[in-house]
Amino acid sequence: MMARAPYLTTLQFLCFLVSLTRNLKFLESVSAAISYKKYEMEKNMNKLTSSESVGSGSRGSKAIWDSQSVEIFCDLCIKEVEQGHRPGTHFTKMGWDNLVKNFNKTTGKEYNKVQLKKLKCSRN
């Protein structure tokens, strides 16, 4: 006795095709979502990398501070106060100019006034 080969009715076959098409569309949408998320993550990583670049001197970049840089900056601030370039609660223009010039000269970095004003200590 020969085994009968299974067969599908036309309706079963059409339901199978519809199901297959839905699964393919679902997989395409999942693939598109993953591609978009990957793109977003890469874009955010590029933003982080470019905004944390050291020494670019651009207004939008962040200075990265280590303990030695903080110590140098504090020593320079004390010198500027002693020289009278902080008459009240803020440094004068000359005081800031001196701080930027001397800090960059001492450390070899290229930070600007904005970067020095936003002192943030790294946790490394």
In a domain, 58, yes or no: no
Q: Are residues 19 and 46 in the same domain?
A: yes
In a domain, 62, yes or no: no
pTM of the model: 0.49
The 3-state DSSP class for residue 118 equals coil
In a domain, 57, yes or no: no
Q: Are residues 79 and 107 in the same domain?
A: yes
Domain total of the chain: 2
Write out pLDDT tens, residues 21-45: 777 776 677 667 666 666 666 666 5
Nearest to 63 by CA among 123, 124, 109, 105: 109
**In degrees rounded to 5, what are phi and psi of residue 121?**
-85, 130
Count of other CB atoms within 10 angstroms of residue 79: 14
Structural domain including 33 reads 10-51
In a domain, 113, yes or no: yes
pLDDT-based confidence at 56, cuts 50/70/90?
A: very low
Find the Cα–Cα–Cα–Cα dihedral 20, 23, 25, 30, rounded to 10°. -160
Angle between the 93-107 and 67-82 helix axes, to the nearest 10 degrees? Answer: 140
